[in-house]
């Protein structure tokens, strides 16, 4: 079946503008994660959704970052008043329902964000 999809694949924006990134997880996956990957760096956890539970927002770097998820489907990551340090690849992942190996996270191709 279809994997995790993300859009747009690339986004160039001017400093100070807001951007919205979209993630479509694998159908049936209840958990959804957002990560940030700066050039030459590892994956930095941002936020985690699991079913209808309150999201774990502990990784969001500032109040300019927010994310929403509609049920167990699409999620959007919004960055307000973008800064140059927000330039990175934003990766979304989803994982299988509880009871199955939940640690196999399936990643999308990422959105490459460039703030000029």
For other proteins, give the closer residue by CB, 40 or 71: 40
For other proteins, give the closer residue by CB, 1 or 42: 42
**Could you give the CA distance from residue 81 to residue 30 in angstroms, rounded to a whole number?**
30
For other proteins, give the closer residue by CB, 69 or 108: 108
- Output the smallest distance, CB 16 to other proteins, in A: 27
For other proteins, give the closer residue by CB, 20 or 109: 109
Q: What is the 3-state secondary structure (H, E, C) of 26-76?
A: CCCCCEEEEEEECCCCCEEEEEEEECCCCCECCCCCCCCEEEEECCCCCEE
Which residues contribute to the site for other proteins (CB under 8 A)? Answer: 4, 31, 33, 35, 40-43, 45, 48, 50, 56, 91, 93, 95, 101-110, 112
- Output the smallest distance, CB 81 to other proteins, in A: 27
């Amino acid at each position: 079946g279809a994997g995790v999809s993300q859009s747009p694949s690339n986004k160039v924006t001017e400093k100070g503008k807001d951007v919205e990134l979209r993630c479509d997880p694998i159908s049936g996956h209840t958990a959804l994660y957002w990560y940030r990957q700066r050039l030459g760096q590892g994956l930095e956890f941002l936020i985690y959704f699991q079913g209808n539970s309150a999201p774990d927002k502990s990784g969001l770097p500032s109040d300019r970052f927010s994310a929403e998820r509609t049920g167990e489907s699409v999620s959007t990551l919004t960055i307000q008043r973008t800064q140059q340090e927000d330039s990175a690849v934003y990766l979304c992942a989803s994982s299988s329902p509880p009871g199955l190996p939940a640690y196999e996270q399936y990643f999308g191709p990422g959105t490459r964000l460039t703030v000029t």
